[in-house]
Amino acid sequence: MNDKPRSTEEFLKGLWNENPVFVAVLGMCPALAVTNSAINALAMGLATTFVLVFSSLLVSLFRNIIPKQVRITAFIIIIATFVTVVDFLLAAITPVIHKELGAFIALIVVNCLILGRQEAFASKNKVGLALADGLGMSLGFTFALLCIGVIREVLGNGSLFNISLFGDNFEPWVIMILPPGGFFALGFLLLFFNWFIQRRKKQNETKTQEI
Amino acid sequence: MENENLIWIFISALLVNNFTLSYFLGLCPFLGVSARLETAFRLGLANIFVMIITAICSYALNTWVLPYAPYLRLISFIIVIASAVQFVEMAVKKLSPELFRALGIFLPLITTNCAILGLALFATNKGYGFVEGLVYALGAGGGVTLALVLLAGIREETRILNIPKLIEGTALNLIIAGILSMAFMGFAGLFSAG
């Protein structure tokens, strides 16, 4: 009955240990397509957060009503509804960013991260847990997008959130805000994560040996 | 003039605005199913196939349904495309088992792939008609196939190399994809030259 610690646990795992982009490599398309500046990355992350949290809530609420055979279709319809909502919301609040993200807002529907969480978690767990999981996963996703976005904007444009960082003498690496830069940035971030995980594994091994 | 326009649409989708390498669409299968050249090629063919069905469906929806209910765009695209592909899959299974075996398992997999939905959305945004939409689908599918085959070919070669344990897997694939994408950027000048 100790629901609280478990929900914190579900929340935290998405942020780091099971980070959707760096560890599970899900939701790659938006992670690369819209991260040419930090602000776009943030907007995309928040839009995905909105969709994931609300679809997790709804799927978890209806988990006993949705027949097993048509569950995927039902999930997709729920997700598509929220994506439509977020599409109109963004268009109303920040038309500039909405225009820059363009079709990629609509493409949140087919982000495998969202459908994956519904299938693997929300459809099997209570509302509270499903919310914690959705929030954790989507914040982890936002964090990953922001990492990529910051790297690409700082190197490719010499600025962060449109504020110039290095003055006029900096020659921007234009390639980083172009498509290849997305592949490179994520490739090297994954490399860093692999290194980090391996190092921690080694440390744990030596620790257990000492004991 | 008309034909010239169609050729531009085709080349643009195939090379200049390659779906995988410059729009980042359909990356999951791009990284997941590109370990072997043969499977990659078949996935590419399945992609072309589904894209053509998509182009027909989205044209039909855009002409007859969506003017009355624009907010249903996303939902109807997904549902109509998914069910159309299911029907065609059954028909293909019946009519040509050979073709079905070649495309087989990939069809349901790529139906909700972002490249497919992306195609429908981009074609709508650009206001393409029926023939233009078909040509666009053909170019986009060809582009995806090209990218898949290139990456799979390179990955097959890397297997005989001595690669550090750290970079193996997705990190290496992404960096290869980055270099490929850089190569495709060379096509960007095609339009201004024309």
List of chain B residues whose C-beta atoms are within 8 Å of the C-beta of residue A26: 28
Compute the Cα dihedral for B95, B99, B101, B103 and give only its sign.
negative
Please give the Cα distance from A114 to B6 (Å, whole number): 37
Are the beta carbons of A183 and B175 separated by less than 8 Å?
A: yes
In A, minimum Cα distance to B113 occurs at A110
Is residue B104 very low, low, confident or very high in pLDDT (cuts 50, 70, 90)? low
Distance CA A206, CA A84 (A): 51
The tens digit of pLDDT for each residue in B82-98 reads: 888 888 888 888 887 88
Per-residue pLDDT tens, chain A, 211 aa: give them.
445 577 788 788 777 777 878 877 777 777 888 888 888 899 999 999 999 999 999 999 998 888 888 888 888 889 999 999 999 899 999 888 888 888 788 888 888 888 888 888 888 888 988 999 999 999 999 999 999 899 888 888 888 887 777 777 777 888 888 888 888 988 888 888 888 888 888 888 877 776 6
Residue reference for tokens 């349904």:
B65
Q: A110: which 2 tokens? A: 């087919």
- H or E element that contains A54: helix A38-61
For residue A194, the chain B residues in CB contact (below 8 A) are 166-167, 169, 171
Residues of B in contact with A198 (CB under 8 A): 166
- Boundaries of every domain in chain A: 3-210
Distances, alpha carbon A168 to alpha carbons A2, A102, A174, in Å: 57, 31, 15
Q: Do B178 and A29 touch (CB under 8 A)?
A: no
Distance from CA of A175 to the nearest CA of B (A): 8
What whole-number distance in Å separates Cα of residue A15 and Cα of residue A11? Answer: 7
Token pair for B163: 């690669």
The confidence band for B192, taking pLDDT boundaries of 50, 70 and 90, is: low
Quick check: is B158 in a domain? no
Residue at A2: amino acid letter: N
Residue of B nearest to A77 (CA): B75
What residues are paired with A163 via a beta bridge?
A: A160
Residues of B in contact with A103 (CB under 8 A): 118, 121-122, 125
Any residues with CB less than 8 A from the CB of A172 and at least 6 apart, and which? A155, A156, A157, A158
* Domain membership flag for residue B167: no
Is B25–A106 a contact, with Cβ atoms under 8 angstroms apart? no
Contact call for A84 and B71, based on CB within 8 A: yes
User: Which among A81, A109, A194 is the nearest to B171, CB-wise?
Assistant: A194
> Looking at the domain assignment, is residue B73 inside a domain?
yes
Whether the Cβ atoms of residue A145 and residue A22 lie closer than 8 Å to each other: no
Buried b (16+ CB within 10 A) or exposed e, A27-52: bbbbbbbbbbbbbbbbbbbbbbbbbb
Contacts of A182 in chain B (CB under 8 A): 24, 178
**Rounded Cα–Cα distance for residues A31 and B42 (Å):** 26
Could you tell me which chain B residue has the CA closest to the CA of A194? Answer: B166
B173 domain residue, yes or no: no
B163 occurs within a structural domain: no
Q: State how many domains chain B has.
A: 1
Q: Domain span at residue B98?
A: 33-145
